[in-house]
Amino acid sequence: MGKLSLAKKKLLANEVWDELNIEFPDSACSLEKDSPERLAVRGILSAQCTDITVNKVCRVLFDKYPSMEDVLKADISDIESIIKPCGLHKAKAASVMDFARLYEEEWGREVPESREELMRCRGVGRKIANLIMGEIYEIPAVVVDTHCKRVMYRIGLTESTDPLKAEADLCKVFSEDKWIRLGHLAVDLGRRYCKSQRPDCKACPLASSCQRRGL
């Protein structure tokens, strides 16, 4: 497959956008969003873990520690125990505690809308910062997770599987008003059809548009 020009990628992006919205009209963030700070914690825990597990674990976590002040006062070993099903529990517990500290002591009990400020928190990289910016403040940002980078590479809208490069490529071909929803649509496509090991290309609504079908 030859590399598509930017103009052709923009045309392809329009096709992809229309098809994805037809297939997934109710696409949305699958993490529970009862408050900004709790969503941020869920984002931290979501690394290499399903959103279903994160939501389930956080119901237990926030039932016991309802506020970030409660989290900050908790014994980290108890936080580790509660979030263990999410994997990497020691590192994630340290990140949750760091978020609670920043929230209570430096951020005035508000989640920042600045990507740079959010990324000061341990465990918050660009992907989670973009999620928070988009879902809480509706600031245009593309969340490039493992599904998004895979499906957009296969479709041909990026030549890279590096998240940062893929994000930059997608921002060139999709208008800002589509960036937030795009990440959710890509996740839905990846979960239902464009799976990592055995993509269901025959059933995929984007099969005719895909540049790397069957990869």
pLDDT tens for 34-47 read 999 999 999 999 99
* 55 and 11 in a common domain: no
For residue 175, give its domain range: 6-28+142-192
Question: Does some domain include residue 50?
Answer: yes
pLDDT value of residue 1: 54
Question: Does some domain include residue 204?
Answer: no
* 70 and 125 in a common domain: yes
Which letter, b or e, does each residue of 119-137 get, where b requires 16 or more Cβ atoms within 10 Å of its Cβ? eebbbbebbbbbbbbbbbe
Question: Does some domain include residue 92?
Answer: yes
pLDDT value of residue 213: 80
Q: Where residue 70 falls among pLDDT bands split at 50, 70, 90? A: very high
* 160 and 76 in a common domain: no
Sign of CA dihedral 70, 72, 77, 83: positive
DSSP state of 2: P
**For 2-50, how does the pLDDT look when each residue is reduced to its tens digit (9 = 90+)?**
678 999 999 999 999 999 999 999 999 999 999 999 999 999 999 999 9
Q: Is the pTM of this model over 0.75?
A: yes
Is the separation of the CB atoms in 42 and 58 below 8 Å?
yes
* 187 and 166 in a common domain: yes
Domain count, the chain: 2
CA angle 78, 132, 84 (to 5 degrees): 25
* Helices and strands, number each (H, E), in the chain: 11, 0
Mean of per-residue pLDDT scores for the chain: 95
